[in-house]
Amino acid sequence: MNVTDIFIRRPVLATVVSLLIVLLGVRSFQLLNVREYPETTNAVVTVSTAYPGADAELIKGFITAPLEEAIATADGIDYLESTSVQGTSQIQAHIELNYDPYKALTQISSKVDQVRSELPEASEEPTLNVEVGETTATMYINFHSEELETNQVTDYLNRVVQPELNTVLGVQEAELLGGRPFALRAWLKPDRMAAVGVSPADVRRVLEANNHLAGVGRTKGSMVSVRLKSETSIHSVEAFEDLVVKRTDAGTIRLSDVADVELGAETYENQVVFKGTPGTFIGIQVTPTANPLDVVPRVRETLAELEPQYPATLEHTVVYDATDFIEESITQVQKTLLEAFLIVVVVIFLFLGSLRAVAIPVVAVPLSLVGAGFLMLAFGYSVNILTLLAMVLAIGLVVDDAIIVVENVHRHIENGERPYDAAIYGARELAGPIVAMTLTLVAVFAPIGFMGGVTGTLFSEFAYSLAGAVVISGIVALTLSPMMASRMLKSDEESGSRLAAFLDQAFDKLRWAYERLLHRTLNYTPVWVVFAVAVLGSVFFLYTGAQNELAPDEDQGSLFVMSTGAPDATLDQTRMWTDMYNPIFESFEETAVYFNANGISPGGPPAPNSAFSIMRLKPWSERERTVMDLKQELQGKLGSVPGLDPAVFLPPALPGSGGGLPVQFVIGTTDDPAVLNEVSQELKKAAEESGLFAFVDTDLKYDLPQARIQVDRDKVADLGLTMQEVGNEVASMLGGAYVNRFSIQGRSYKVIPQVQRVDRLNPEQLESYHIEAPDGSMIPLSTVVSLEREVQPEQLNRFNQLNSATVSAAPMPGVTMGQALEFLESKADEIFPRGYSIDYAGQSRNYVEEGAQLVTTFFLALALIFLMLAALYESWRDPLVMLVSVPMSVAGALIFLFLGLATVNIYTQIGLVTLIGLISKHGILIVQFANQLQEEGYSKRRAIEDAAGIRLRPVLMTAAAMVFAALPLVLSSGAGAESRYALGLVITTGLSIGTLFTLFVVPTMYMVLGKEHGRGEAEEPAS
């Protein structure tokens, strides 16, 4: 007795199995996490070391190089990037995907500690920070006050708001942007200091000696212990002003006599401006394991609770919320899911013409989708855009098995059998094919789980969720569907359905016409074999001729702008130019809000000549144009601002792609940076002339004016001074390094002496500064130093411990990542001298690493299906016939990619892999039935002709169900439409064309390769 017989004879058992699937699935969906994409752990550990006043070359040689060498020996590092600029060394260790970031942080911290003693004494302690997840915050909140200064707002945020936000469940970090922490600034007056005989070293010594922290302990008597507190530190501006710097015969000189002392800010090198008004931002970074859709409401709730406590004029505004895109994307996919379901119901009805017959596959759809939730929970998956996309495709897939059962049982009923007997025999005939088709689809997606990188991490959930739904549909098709068919199906005469009778007659006519055409086709078998070989050969040329990219650009509702000004530009100059952006942003009717972060360079150290801007658009339903439509127009308008070089780009479409511009082409060498600069500039020039890029830049530029202070060693020695004393005096006046800290209301702040700005407007003013000689006299600095003008790089970069220059670019509209990188690679071959290497960062690195993986996965999936079918059918020939339509289907899809309707990207490649399973089902149905007919005594040719004719209706029905289920993906709009379109286009076109080829090529190849199964013939060994 066949297993399907049990469930037909025991309807309660079949119903119980289905109800268990429903109960487990519903509960599982209630427990599943909801997020944008599957969980990935991509992390960057940043090691920052400040050496105030030091030039980039000193930073690179004495701080960056030794730290890099030590950090590189830590485990789990994918690649290292470093930047050395004046006053700061920044090293970024990009951690391998899904490697434990905190394990890597521990190792890197240990490596840094090992070389700390080798760093210059005047440098500050290296600070380590780990960013897990996306480098762009999930949410930006602006805080602004009409009365409070920025440093006062910053202090309030540091004391009250930031600590509360950091404790919100799921928040990794609440980071301040554009903040200006309090600092005691002693603005030195060089002229006054020279007049009273006070040197910068005197001021520094006084601050160090008189603002001292001391832990004095306690007294302890025989019965009583008293704790002691020393008042050796300073807690107010007035106390600093009263410090005695020097006593002379003329009187006492206090700090207020030689400096303006104020409670200022630690830095004045960055500023955030929201819609033209300065503010202070807090960026919310969400932990990789948390759901942003849960975290952001918690943050908003916390802010609402804190708002009544704000100072009177302080207010906040949410200026950027990435969950808007996430929610809209998920809503659109859910809408597509419903549309696909309704379309499939209509398609099935139009093929069967009976509501009774339609009910059976329709019931299978929700059962399969809900049941997949249990498997998703068991595997630790989440409800996200990709698993929802899998459910959309599953709608067209999971009805296939039920449709086949209904059609086969209906055929037996029309042949005169009772519904019960028809269900018994029909289910028995299809048990094998259903198992084969289910296993085939599971085998298709199995290789995706073996992939590494972003593709494997993201699409494993897509693939296995879809496979899980197919497995459940197979179970339903072998249990519930035959039982329902035995009780619900009737012959056309009994049901009295005119539509069903009409459709049966129509399909009978179509079958007869098809069989006649097929009969004539099989008379020209060599022609079809040559045609099949030609199509197979075309796949390579179609694939290589299509444009390539990692993922299609997505309309995420925001446009990002990175801007660079003159290398010697101050923050004031940068602000002046970015203020000219504001009317440009407002000129677009699609604009909702915008802001400029001046002096901030995402992914790199702060630079006063850099700016980062975001133009947030209105919701998708309130605008007609997409970000892709606006990007080039915005680029052109911003390019008219004279003082900045802007690059407009979109946020990365996939998580783990890194920040910055889409194209990041890294040149590495051991050559001197000056030589490397010539090479990188030549490549940049070629890229600009190519017309492929809207913006091209390189991070190595020899355009920064610098004044070199030449010290006359002989004169220094003659005056009884040392180079150390001269260097320290100049650094104390200009460096801006902090001396120590003081406290106000339980928090400590830096004490920073520095010459006031009016006395350091240009390098020539240094010559009027005075230093103290050993005899106490004040000597003009011009006595021992002279200035030489030169041009130096803005920053010195290294990549994996090689001197590097990164050519960053934003491609023109219509130019893909593959085209851009292919051009740069070809030019590099022409331009680069011997010993130069190329590498990639950011999105470009992901594209290069992921590109070949899916091609390998495609062939691995094909091999697995072949082996599984060979095992099931004990033949090497039959699987070849069953799978011959795969290249036909793939070629059909690639034609549209070749014509430019989409690109070869991560979504279309996944679609091509999915096509293997979809199209092979047709071959399995036809070949398996043809083999059965041969065993009943049919000749090989008659068997394949009859099998193809009999299976025509279920083949067309299952193909139409899948094609029309995927059609809403092709026609979708709104958030995330681009990725849905790419996947849907491949499925609809590939399956449509592949099905057409299947109906003729599979029978032809069966005649050529098919095994003889006729009765009375000698048993053939598996061949």
Contacts of 530 (CB under 8 A, 6+ apart): none
CA 325 to chain centre: 14
For residue 567, give the nearest of 408, 753, 344, 790 by alpha carbon: 790
CATH number, domain of 448, equals 1.20.1640.10
CA distance 676 to 183: 40
Measured between alpha carbons, how far is residue 210 from residues 58, 184, 751 in Å? 32, 14, 12
181 in Cβ contact with 266 (< 8 Å): yes
pLDDT of residue 1019: 38
Q: How confident is the model at residue 157 (pLDDT cuts 50, 70, 90)?
A: very high
Q: How confident is the model at residue 134 (pLDDT cuts 50, 70, 90)?
A: low
Angle subtended at Cα 29 by Cα 25 and Cα 33, rounded to the nearest 5 degrees:
150
Helix axes 977-1009, 885-898, angle to 10 degrees: 140
Query: Tens digits of per-residue pLDDT, 770-785?
Result: 888 888 888 888 888 8
Residues 808 and 849 in one domain: no
Instruction: Examine the pLDDT at 1015 and tell me if it is beyond 70.
Output: no
Q: Does residue 540 belong to any structural domain of this protein? A: yes
Residues 612 and 469 in one domain: no
Contacts of 643 (CB under 8 A, 6+ apart): 565, 566, 569, 573, 574, 576, 577
For residue 979, give the nearest of 453, 390, 554 by alpha carbon: 554
pLDDT of residue 491: 66
- Torsion sign over Cα 60, 63, 64, 70: positive
CA distance 677 to 804: 9
Q: Does residue 369 belong to any structural domain of this protein? A: yes
Instruction: Determine how β-strand 747-755 pairs with β-strand 740-744.
Output: antiparallel
542 in Cβ contact with 894 (< 8 Å): yes
pLDDT of residue 494: 59
Domain boundary at 816, 840, 864, which? 840
Angle subtended at Cα 222 by Cα 218 and Cα 228, rounded to the nearest 5 degrees:
15
CA 577 to chain centre: 31
- Torsion sign over Cα 284, 289, 292, 294: negative
For residues 809-826, average pLDDT: 87
906 in Cβ contact with 912 (< 8 Å): no
4 in Cβ contact with 478 (< 8 Å): yes
Coil, helix or strand at residue 247 = strand
691 in Cβ contact with 820 (< 8 Å): no
Helix axes 525-545, 885-898, angle to 10 degrees: 40
Domain boundary at 583, 615, 650, which? 650
* CA-CA-CA-CA dihedral for 930, 933, 938, 941, to nearest 10: -10
pTM above 0.85, yes or no: no
CA distance 511 to 513: 5
pLDDT of residue 288: 73
Measured between alpha carbons, how far is residue 432 from residues 373, 424, 427, 869, 873 in Å? 26, 14, 9, 11, 10
Compare 396 and 157 and report the one with higher pLDDT.
157
Residues 904 and 1010 in one domain: yes
Contacts of 249 (CB under 8 A, 6+ apart): none
CA distance 349 to 500: 9
| Residue 543 DSSP one-character state | H
H/E element holding 408? helix 385-414
**CA distance from start to end of the chain:** 30
Instruction: Examine the pLDDT at 34 and tell me if it is beyond 80.
Output: no
Instruction: Examine the pLDDT at 67 and tell me if it is beyond 90.
Output: yes
Instruction: Examine the pLDDT at 590 and tell me if it is beyond 50.
Output: yes
Residues 368 and 486 in one domain: yes
Coil, helix or strand at residue 125 = coil
Which range, 171-175, 584-588, 816-820, 871-875, is most confident?
584-588
725 in Cβ contact with 201 (< 8 Å): yes
Instruction: Examine the pLDDT at 855 and tell me if it is beyond 80.
Output: no
For residues 161-185, average pLDDT: 89
The token pair at 717 is 């020695």
Query: Tens digits of per-residue pLDDT, 908-946?
Result: 888 888 888 788 878 887 887 888 788 777 888 888 888
Residues 643 and 664 in one domain: no
CA distance 1023 to 1007: 15
Strand segments, DSSP code E, in 634-780 are 645-649, 663-669, 693-698, 702-711, 740-744, 747-755, 770-772, 778-780
Measured between alpha carbons, how far is residue 264 from residues 743, 753, 782 in Å? 14, 11, 31
Coil, helix or strand at residue 753 = strand
Residues 866 and 939 in one domain: yes
Longest dimension (CA), the chain: 129
Residues 413 and 446 in one domain: yes
pLDDT of residue 526: 85
Instruction: Examine the pLDDT at 315 and tell me if it is beyond 70.
Output: yes
Query: Tens digits of per-residue pLDDT, 533-558?
Result: 888 888 888 888 888 887 788 888 88
Residues 383 and 522 in one domain: no
Q: Does residue 577 belong to any structural domain of this protein? A: yes
How many independent structural domains does the chain possess?
4
How many alpha carbons fall within 13 Å on the CB side of residue 529?
Answer: 11
CA distance 922 to 267: 69
CA distance 890 to 854: 14
How would you label 426-460 residue by residue, b for 16+ Cβ within 10 Å and e otherwise? bbbbbbebbbbbbbbbbbbbbbbeebebbbbbbbb
Query: Tens digits of per-residue pLDDT, 446-479?
Result: 787 777 677 777 788 888 888 888 888 888 888 8
| Residue 64 DSSP one-character state | I
pLDDT of residue 1017: 42
How many alpha carbons fall within 13 Å on the CB side of residue 630?
Answer: 27
Phi and psi dihedrals of 490, rounded to 5?
-135, 160
CA distance 368 to 354: 22
Residues 829 and 857 in one domain: no
pLDDT of residue 108: 92
Q: Lowest-confidence range among 436-445, 610-619, 807-816, 996-1005? A: 436-445
For residue 1001, give the nearest of 919, 870, 913, 881 by alpha carbon: 881
Q: Does residue 392 belong to any structural domain of this protein? A: yes
CATH number, domain of 562, equals 3.30.70.1430
pLDDT of residue 852: 66
> What percent of the chain is modeled with pLDDT above 70?
97
CA distance 349 to 352: 5
Residue 488's domain spans which residues?
Answer: 1-31+353-496
For residues 597-610, average pLDDT: 81
Q: Does residue 950 belong to any structural domain of this protein? A: yes
Q: How confident is the model at residue 787 (pLDDT cuts 50, 70, 90)?
A: confident
Q: Does residue 307 belong to any structural domain of this protein? A: no
Residues 394 and 456 in one domain: yes
Query: Tens digits of per-residue pLDDT, 357-412?
Result: 788 888 888 888 888 888 888 888 888 888 888 888 888 777 777 877 877 787 78
Q: Does residue 876 belong to any structural domain of this protein? A: yes
Residues 632 and 682 in one domain: no
CA distance 837 to 685: 19
Query: Tens digits of per-residue pLDDT, 426-435?
Result: 788 778 778 8
For residues 516-537, average pLDDT: 84
For residues 222-243, average pLDDT: 87
* CA-CA-CA-CA dihedral for 953, 954, 958, 959, to nearest 10: -50
Instruction: Examine the pLDDT at 303 and tell me if it is beyond 90.
Output: yes
For residues 35-47, average pLDDT: 81
CA 47 to chain centre: 23
pLDDT of residue 657: 64
426 in Cβ contact with 485 (< 8 Å): yes
The token pair at 820 is 């851009």
Domain boundary at 650, 684, 716, which? 650
CA distance 142 to 154: 11
CA distance 540 to 832: 31
User: Cβ atoms within 10 A of the Cβ of 311, count?
Assistant: 13
Give the mean pLDDT of the chain: 84
Q: Tell me the one-letter amino acid at 527.
A: V
pLDDT of residue 580: 92
Q: Does residue 49 belong to any structural domain of this protein? A: no
Query: Tens digits of per-residue pLDDT, 553-580?
Result: 888 888 999 898 888 888 899 999 999 9
Q: How confident is the model at residue 706 (pLDDT cuts 50, 70, 90)?
A: confident
Residues 416 and 474 in one domain: yes
Q: How confident is the model at residue 1018 (pLDDT cuts 50, 70, 90)?
A: very low
- Torsion sign over Cα 96, 98, 101, 102: negative
